[in-house]
Every structure is written in structure tokens, then in C-alpha cells.
A and B are shown apart, each in its own frame.
Chain A
Amino acid sequence: MEPLIQISDLTVDYIAEGGDVIHALRNVELQINGRETVGLLGESGSGKSSLGLALLRLLPGNAHVTSGKIEYRQQDLLRVDQKELRKIRGADISLVFQEPALALNPVLQVGLQIVDVLRAHCKMDKSQAASETNAILRQVGFAEPERIARAYPHQLSGGQRQRVAIAQALVCRPGLLIADEPLSSLDTVTQAEILELLRQLKQELNLAMLFITHNAGLLASFADRIAVMRHGQILTCGILEELRRTPDSYVQEIISPAKIIPPAMTATHSNGKPLLQIRNLSKRFQQHQILTRKKFTIQAIEGIDLTLHAGTTVALVGRSGSGKSTLARCCAGFEVPDSGEIFLEGGPIQKLSRQTRQQVQMLFQDASTSLNPRFTAEQLISEPLEIMAWGTKLERRERVVKSLQEVGLDPQTSDRLSGEFSGGQRQRLALARALVVEPKLLILDEALSGLDIPLQATMVRLLLELQLQRNLAYLYISHDLSFVSLFAQSILVMHEGRIVERIGPGNNFQGSSHPATQALLLASRSLHAPGLPLSQ
């Protein structure tokens, strides 16, 4: 059978601002057959997104294709003229991006954006285009397509936006869909729903798919073949069983990242007085509309009880909007609760002084926005010490070097700007900044969600090592139930501002009854796939 698309010897270089050449893709060979789903697995920076963009010649201006061929229907996509290329884009080969909020134009109705794709490729009148749009919106799972078509992107939820982006990509019935991390920015339950939708559309539309991801688990049951990428090269390509048998340790690690976390590390348990105690905590938000000035109240969290001992990890799990972050912000003292009490080592948290406040530190989801890009690593880490007026300049410097080593960063890099670090390194930097003041409690608000799964596992391993050394307590917030079950001593499931389920060491998921827990569990399992150790 002739392949649908054949990539041979593709090499792409990026010319950085200083004139440095970065090899994004090196001699890539890959073929995709009709109706076949190929999973492209790799960490961030491995070049997998560049490959996806190169197929449609959407690479940024500083990228240069130095060699290679992309054969599609007897033409080389790298050499067809702009006019021909435009006809292929969207009609024959289409794509869906990672962040649906950023992939849709914010000022145009989503229905119009789908109609525009239709009218760019087929001659049809307005009513015909509108009915086609409604049909595709219905196919991606909207019960009222007319209402959705009139909406603007900001009026839709993340999952709805991704459905619209998929509809937009598929409305001209392309033969190949490039899906670049289409699930990463969604919560687990929505991720599972979108994955199911893609599975179903693949069948209905006879689609071939290039599915780019860092999560091996979801490829296990979704992809026909998996290609593993690293440093711009395809290391190996084959079905999952074949990959399991390859001796390459990197391939082994990326297909089963849970191996990075040894179970023995999570066995710690301590008794005695609790470090953090929360009693009957509630918080409401008042909002009012700008034009009409109507007021309405949002009950963010209600009646929360929680106990956390030193040296242990409590995980808060729930869908987005379930109140997890509000609870975290109350614990960190950013929000003042309406009622209820928070005690840290027996004393109420509101009475903490500036010095003792340092006992609670927080790690945010996006390290790149929580670190000042104009600060060097050293400035970032020594800043909290300066605020506390700790030690002399020399002592602070020593402390910075030590903490960089602790989080696995090279102390030589201390004079680099935070923007020059990669995503994973930035989160390590943020961790170093939080730990330098020697806190007792660290709140991780989806701190690892933005990272690749293998990187998440590596970070968790680091966190557990530090926990053992320093007797730290973690409040770990996540939406991935299976993942936190690898290391948390107890898991609290949140739903609509309340804790609906407490899963401790004694009882496991099987006994859990609340529908919210069930949904999270089901979603988490479908993403980490049976047969892979992540859902042990």
C-alpha cells in the first residue's frame, strides 16, 4: 500500500538571534498510511511540534529546511508554490493545536471561523456553509450547534473550545489530521472526553492522524504505531509491544514514566501533632457586572476540613473550578476566608508574622509567569533571603549555590536569566526559591501540570527526596487521580467547593462511590492506559 504521506531525510535548523544554529529536526524519516494513527512521542524540545508544523510549512521565519522531502500525492510539500499549499492546508491536511484558547480568533464568532475555512476551499453559498457548519458541530458533540456557532471563544469552556477547533480542522474532510498536544491544557476528565471524540471521528471520517504528545499512556490504546523522538531525531518507531522490548533506556523511561518514582520513597508516615489543620473553611466571591452592576455570589469553597502532618503529602484532586486553588490560596494567606479556621502548628494562620509566614511556600502552575524574566537565577533565589535580611552577601551566595544543587541545577548557571532556562528547569528554579527559606509546608498548585509526564515523574522523585531529608509537608493539587496515587499518602477529591471523598492508605479507589471520583478515575485511567504501570 502506498503511504499517504512520506517524510524522508527531513532536516530543519533554527537560526537563533545571536546567529547560533539549533538543529530542530535531523534526518527524520516517517511515513503515515491512510487511516493510520501515528503517535509522535517526545519530551518538550525534542522537535515533535516542529515536525508537525513542517508538514504544512508553518514553521516560524527563522526556521530553515536544509534537506528532505515530504511527499504527498506525488508532490513534495516543501516545494509546492504558495497557491497550491493554501489549497492543501485545511482541505487535505489539517491541524489542531495544544491550546484551544489561543487557536481560535478571540473577536470572531466560532461559527464564522468554521464557515471561513469552508468557503476558502469549496464554493458554496451562505446557507449551505451554515448547514455544513452545524453538521460538523453536531458531529463533534454539540447538541445545539446553532447556539455554539454564534458564541465567541471566550464564552466557551476549554473542552468546548477544543471541540470547536477540531470541528474547524475537520470541516473540509481532510485525509490527515495533525494533532499537536490537543489535550495538554485540559483537565483529565475533559481530556478523556476529547480523546474519545477523536477516536470516534477517526472511525467516522476515515482519518489518518499524527498525534503529538508527551504522554505514552494515552497512545497505548489510541495509536497504531508510536514514533519516539529525541533531540530532533526519531529514535525508534513501532507498535507499543516492540517499543517495550527495545533495550534503549530512554525509550523505556518515556513509555513508562512511573518507573522513575520508586514506591519505597512514599512509605513515610508520621504521627503526632498535625502541621496544618483546617476546620470548616468557607470562602465566597462577590462579582458584579461592569455595565449592569448586577451582583452575584460564587461559593468557591464550603465546609473544608483537612489535616496535614509533617513529612507527608496530601493530594487535592478535582476538575477545574472545583475550588482547589481557592483552598490553596487561603492556606498561603493570599485570601481571607469568610469563615472557618486554619492552624499552622496549632496557631491561627492570620497571626503569622513576616518571619513565620515563610513557613508556608507556594509553587505555581506556570513557572515562567511566576519568575521575573529580568532576574538571574541567583537574584531570584536570594531575593527571599534579602527580604528576611538573612546573613551577609557571601553567606547568601553560598546558600544559593547549595539550593541550586539541591534541586538538580548546575550552580554555574546562577548568572543566567530565568527566561533562558527550559520549562522543567524553571520549575526547579521556582522550587529552589521556595525552599531557600526552609519552609515546613509547600503548596504545589498544579505545579507540575504544565510539564511533560516523564519530567513530572522526575520532579516528583526530587520532591520526595527533599521530603525525606527535610521532613517537608506537601499539599499537592492536581486533576490527575492516577498520577497522585503514586505518591500521596491521602487523596481528597473536591467537587463544587466541597471535599466529597477522602481516600487514605486504608481504603482504595475501588470502594469510592461519589460520581465525581468515578469520573476522575475513569478519565485518568483512559489517559494512562491499561497495561502501563502508571495506573497500578
Chain B
Amino acid sequence: MTRYLIRRLGHALLLLWGVATLLFILLQAAPGEFFTEMKLNPQISAETIAGLRTQYGLDQPLPVRYIRWMGSVAKGEFGYSFAYNIPVATLLWPRIRNTLMLTVPALIISWFLAVPLGVLAASRKGKWPDRVFSAGTSTLLALPDLLIALLFLLLALRSGIFPVGGMSSTAQEEGWWKSALDTIWHMALPVAALVVGSLPILLRHVRASMVEVLNSSYMRAAQGHGLFRNSLLYRYALRAAANPLISLFGLSLAGLLSVSLLVEVVMSWPGLGPLLIEAILSRDLFVVIAAVVFSTIFLVVGNLLADVLLYTFDPRIRMQ
């Protein structure tokens, strides 16, 4: 197992390096750079721009820039942000923390809702709870995530109970307890938007996978042996149905991140989302690369986690 993990970790690092390098090359190939727009400003002289380019090393040939950047990555700085004039890492870490503050609770809540609801729908297949869920998930799946986020924003605006955006209210020097509550209060709507966006897919998968297992002959055998209903559903059926769900868990980790970026922009949450958009528009090269590499890390970690979970939960995989 340990050897397997080390090997997987090696693969992951290689993948991340590949993604970063590819992005580096592709973004260099794209026309224009951070300082191009300055040329339009008559107040900035060509000499100043040339000086800035030299300062940031943009006048060097591509291999040199690449090697310099790699050196900065090794130092843990991930290059320099042109716009903020600080190392990318310093800029990115608080933003990543803020994004995780949304995605992690959203992930936990949506799975905690999806599993029991999916099991309920599957065990009452064709009856009214199943139909209600089916209609509900279809409707939610048809709504784009952007619209869901906007609807929540509208709700906040009309009701006035929830803050319309941001991460904290102005007065926050009232002790950590108050400010924590304040943050949670601000988190509520974006997290809810994320949950509503991701729940339908998860619920449908849980239901489909449970329906298949509940139809199997070993479930009929277990029923014939007179086991209790809860033990049948959660101990026997859910464990056997878990494999596709665990794989989905890995993917949902990465999927949620991309939805989160959108929700952050709409609800002006100071996470990765707004920063990434700003960086892409202004061609703040190294910020873009670092943000994309970070979302790749999410994907890789999600899959690795899923594999490890599969290994622990399914004896058939463990024995192979």
C-alpha cells in the first residue's frame, strides 16, 4: 500500500509539472502580455515599460524565463504577480483558504444530504418520495449554476436576512467568537448555492447505484434471512453500492471547485474565483498558472482519495 501511494504521488507530481509547463508555454504563445495595455496610456513612456519588462525578466528568451520561474517554484514563491507586485504564493494562500471555506463545507453537506435522500428514494422506488426527488433533481439540473447563485443573491436582497456579498461585515473587532459567527453568516448563502448546485447529481447517482444493489439476489437473500430494514439498507446495500459513489466523490471534489469559482464571483467572495478572472483578463501570467495548478491538485487529490477509500472499503480491490 505504501509503495503504491508513493508511486501514485510521483505520478501526481509529474502530472502537475506537466500541466504547469504546458500552461507556461501556451500562455506565452498567446498574443499580448501584462504590460501591453500600458502602451495605450500616453502618460507612461516606452522607456518605463521597457524598464518594467526588464525588471520582471520579460525581455529574456523563453528558456531563461522558464528556468527562472522553475527556480521560484522551488523556493515556494510560484513566480511574481505583475499586478500586485508580490510573490504569487503570498497572494494565493489566503484566497485558497477562503475558497476551501466554501467548498469543504459544501462538499460535506451535499454528501450528508445526498446519501440518506438517495437511499430513501431508492428504497421507495416509484412511490411518492422517489417521484418528488426525481422531479426536484430534474428541475435543479436544468438550472445553470450561475442562475442558482443569482437566485440566492436575489433572496438575500429581498429578505434582508442574509448579507448580499463579501466575507465579513465591517465591525469585526468584537472577539473571535463574534467574527466567526459573522463569517459563518456570510458563508451561508454561497455554501447553500454550491450545495443546491451539486446535490441533484449526487442524489441521482446514489439512487441509481442503490436501486441496482437492492435488486440483486444477495439483497433478497438477506431480506429472506429476516434482517432489520436499516441494517439491510445501510449495512448491506449501501456498502455494496459504495464503489461508484466513491469514484464520484473524488470527481465531485474537483467539480465543486469550478462551480465555486463562479459562485464566488457572483457573491463577491474573496476566493480564488475573482482573482483568477482578474488575472486572466490582465494576463497576470504566474497567478493564472498557479491557480490552474491548484485546481489540478484538487482533481488529483480527489482521485487519489477515492482510490484509497475504494481500497479500504472494497475487499475485492484489496485482494487483487
Q: Do A and B share a complex?
A: yes
Q: Specify which chain A residues have a CB less than 8 angstroms from the CB of B316 in the assembled complex.
A: 106-107, 152, 154
> Which of A27-35, A84-92, A300-308, A493-501 lies at the interface?
A84-92
Is there an interface contact between A169 and B222, defined as CB atoms closer than 8 Å?
A: no
Is there an interface contact between B218 and A117, defined as CB atoms closer than 8 Å?
A: no
For window 104-133 of A, CB contacts with B under 8 Å fall at 104-109, 113, 116-117, 120-121
> Which of B149-157, B169-177, B234-242 lies at the interface?
B234-242
Is there an interface contact between A289 and B320, defined as CB atoms closer than 8 Å?
A: yes
Partner of B218, one of A91, A102, A154, A291: A102
Q: Specify which chain B residues have a CB less than 8 angstroms from the CB of A168 in the assembled complex.
A: 225
A165 within 8 A of B: yes
Is there an interface contact between B221 and A97, defined as CB atoms closer than 8 Å?
A: yes
Nearest CB in chain A: distance from B260 CB, A: 33
Is there an interface contact between A117 and B227, defined as CB atoms closer than 8 Å?
A: yes
For window 302-354 of A, CB contacts with B under 8 Å fall at none
B74 within 8 A of A: no
Is there an interface contact between B225 and A89, defined as CB atoms closer than 8 Å?
A: yes
Binary A-proximity of B132-145 (CB < 8 A = 1, otherwise 0): 00000000000000
Nearest CB in chain A: distance from B276 CB, A: 38
Nearest CB in chain B: distance from A75 CB, A: 15
Task: State the main secondary structure of chain B at its contact with A.
Answer: helix
Nearest CB in chain A: distance from B125 CB, A: 8
Taken together as a complex, chains A and B put the C-alpha atoms of A425 and B240 apart, in Å, by 34
Known contacts A87-B226, A117-B227; A154/B221 CB under 8 A: no
Q: Specify which chain A residues have a CB less than 8 angstroms from the CB of B223 in the assembled complex.
A: 58, 89
Is there an interface contact between B226 and A152, defined as CB atoms closer than 8 Å?
A: no
Taken together as a complex, chains A and B put the C-alpha atoms of A94 and B1 apart, in Å, by 41
Q: Specify which chain A residues have a CB less than 8 angstroms from the CB of B218 in the assembled complex.
A: 102-106
Category for how many chain A residues contact B: 35 or more
For window 28-55 of A, CB contacts with B under 8 Å fall at 53
Partner of A107, one of B217, B226, B313: B313
Is there an interface contact between A90 and B224, defined as CB atoms closer than 8 Å?
A: yes
Known contacts A107-B314, A116-B235, A120-B231; A155/B319 CB under 8 A: yes
Q: Specify which chain B residues have a CB less than 8 angstroms from the CB of A465 in the assembled complex.
A: none
For window 227-249 of B, CB contacts with A under 8 Å fall at 227-228, 231, 235-236, 239-240, 242
Q: Specify which chain B residues have a CB less than 8 angstroms from the CB of A113 in the assembled complex.
A: 222
Taken together as a complex, chains A and B put the C-alpha atoms of A56 and B222 apart, in Å, by 12
Q: Specify which chain A residues have a CB less than 8 angstroms from the CB of B4 in the assembled complex.
A: 291
Binary B-proximity of A166-186 (CB < 8 A = 1, otherwise 0): 001100000000000000000
Is there an interface contact between B231 and A116, defined as CB atoms closer than 8 Å?
A: yes
Binary B-proximity of A53-64 (CB < 8 A = 1, otherwise 0): 100101001000
Known contacts A289-B320, A291-B320; A105/B222 CB under 8 A: yes
Taken together as a complex, chains A and B put the C-alpha atoms of A61 and B123 apart, in Å, by 12
Nearest CB in chain A: distance from B122 CB, A: 13
Q: Nearest chain-B residue to A89 (Cβ)?
A: B226
Taken together as a complex, chains A and B put the C-alpha atoms of A56 and B314 apart, in Å, by 31
Taken together as a complex, chains A and B put the C-alpha atoms of A87 and B225 apart, in Å, by 9
Q: Nearest chain-A residue to B219 (Cβ)?
A: A105
A71 within 8 A of B: no
Known contacts A116-B235, A120-B231; A107/B225 CB under 8 A: no
Q: Specify which chain A residues have a CB less than 8 angstroms from the CB of B39 in the assembled complex.
A: none
Is there an interface contact between B239 and A99, defined as CB atoms closer than 8 Å?
A: no
Q: Specify which chain A residues have a CB less than 8 angstroms from the CB of B126 in the assembled complex.
A: 61
Taken together as a complex, chains A and B put the C-alpha atoms of A113 and B313 apart, in Å, by 16
Q: Specify which chain A residues have a CB less than 8 angstroms from the CB of B226 in the assembled complex.
A: 86-91, 117, 120-121
B315 within 8 A of A: yes
Interface size counted on chain B using CB atoms at 8 A: 28
Q: Specify which chain B residues have a CB less than 8 angstroms from the CB of A88 in the assembled complex.
A: 226
Q: Nearest chain-B residue to A165 (Cβ)?
A: B221
Q: Specify which chain A residues have a CB less than 8 angstroms from the CB of B48 in the assembled complex.
A: none
Is there an interface contact between B221 and A107, defined as CB atoms closer than 8 Å?
A: no
B45 within 8 A of A: no
Q: Specify which chain B residues have a CB less than 8 angstroms from the CB of A278 in the assembled complex.
A: none
Is there an interface contact between B240 and A105, defined as CB atoms closer than 8 Å?
A: yes
Binary A-proximity of B293-320 (CB < 8 A = 1, otherwise 0): 0000000000000000000011110011
Taken together as a complex, chains A and B put the C-alpha atoms of A519 and B39 apart, in Å, by 93
A404 within 8 A of B: no
User: Which of B218, B226, B313, B320 neighbours the largest number of chain A CB atoms within 10 Å of its CB?
Assistant: B226
Taken together as a complex, chains A and B put the C-alpha atoms of A105 and B231 apart, in Å, by 13
Q: Specify which chain A residues have a CB less than 8 angstroms from the CB of B60 in the assembled complex.
A: none
A503 within 8 A of B: no
B258 within 8 A of A: no
Is there an interface contact between B236 and A103, defined as CB atoms closer than 8 Å?
A: no
Taken together as a complex, chains A and B put the C-alpha atoms of A254 and B268 apart, in Å, by 78
Nearest CB in chain A: distance from B216 CB, A: 7
A290 within 8 A of B: yes
Nearest CB in chain A: distance from B11 CB, A: 15
Known contacts A97-B221, A107-B313; A120/B228 CB under 8 A: yes
Is there an interface contact between B224 and A89, defined as CB atoms closer than 8 Å?
A: yes
A77 within 8 A of B: no
Is there an interface contact between B216 and A95, defined as CB atoms closer than 8 Å?
A: no
Known contacts A106-B218, A107-B239; 9 additional CB pairs below 8 A are: A86-B227, A89-B226, A90-B227, A99-B217, A105-B239, A113-B222, A117-B226, A120-B228, A154-B316
Q: Which residues of A contact B (CB under 8 A)?
A: 53, 56, 58, 61, 86-91, 94-95, 97, 99, 102-109, 113, 116-117, 120-121, 152, 154-155, 165, 168-169, 289-291
Could you name 14 residue pairs across A and B whose Cβ atoms are closer than 8 Å? Answer: A56-B224, A86-B228, A89-B223, A90-B227, A97-B220, A99-B217, A103-B218, A104-B218, A105-B236, A105-B239, A107-B314, A116-B222, A154-B315, A154-B319
